[in-house]
């Protein structure tokens, strides 16, 4: 039996997952989790774009983004920061930017901790 969705109901993929009847009590994710996922992706994209902007400024000898600011962005968006470092070859030789790997590991552990209830059933 099909379920009709009204405005304000679940969104996107989770709408489809939750609408399948008889799915055996499978994973359901609250709407707020989807919002958090989108915000987290935006933070990582912003982090990547900041590293890209700083790389462009370095090539053009213009006013640069401070390393402190780049590290703050790396803390909140380590996936984007590491992608910017690797893909753009930016700040890879700086010792203090090795901390980005620690930030990434920290985020992976926190994400894993919060996903554990969904993965174990």
Per residue in 46-92, pLDDT (tens digit) is 999 999 999 999 999 999 999 999 999 999 999 999 999 999 999 99
Domain contains 15: no
- pLDDT average, residue stretch 85-106: 96
Query: Which one is predicted more confidently, 16 or 87?
Result: 87
Compute φ and ψ for 27, nearest 5 degrees.
-70, 130
Tokens of 83: 């992608």
- pLDDT average, residue stretch 94-107: 97
Domain contains 12: no
CB atoms within 10 A of CB 113: 9
Q: What is the pTM of this model?
A: 0.73
**Does residue 102 carry a pLDDT above 60?**
yes
- pLDDT average, residue stretch 91-117: 94
Q: How far apart are CA 55 and CA 32, in angstroms?
A: 35
Q: Which residues constitute the domain of residue 116? A: 27-120
State the DSSP code for 121.
Answer: -
Domain contains 112: yes
**Does residue 111 carry a pLDDT above 70?**
yes
Domain tally, the chain: 1
pLDDT at 28: 58
Domain contains 103: yes
Q: Which of these, 16, 10, 5, lies nearest to 30 by C-alpha position?
A: 10
């Amino acid at each position: 039996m099909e379920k009709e969705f009204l405005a304000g109901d679940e969104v996107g993929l989770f709408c489809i997952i939750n609408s399948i009847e008889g799915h055996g009590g499978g994973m359901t994710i609250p709407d707020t989790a989807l919002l958090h996922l989108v915000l987290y992706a935006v933070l990582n994209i912003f982090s990547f774009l900041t590293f890209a902007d700083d790389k462009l400024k370095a090539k053009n000898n213009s006013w640069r983004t401070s390393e402190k600011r780049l590290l703050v962005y790396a803390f909140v968006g380590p996936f984007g920061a590491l992608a910017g470092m690797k893909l753009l070859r930016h700040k890879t030789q700086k010792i203090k930017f090795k901390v980005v790997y620690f930030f990434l590991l920290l985020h992976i552990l926190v994400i894993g901790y919060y996903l554990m209830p969904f993965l174990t059933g």
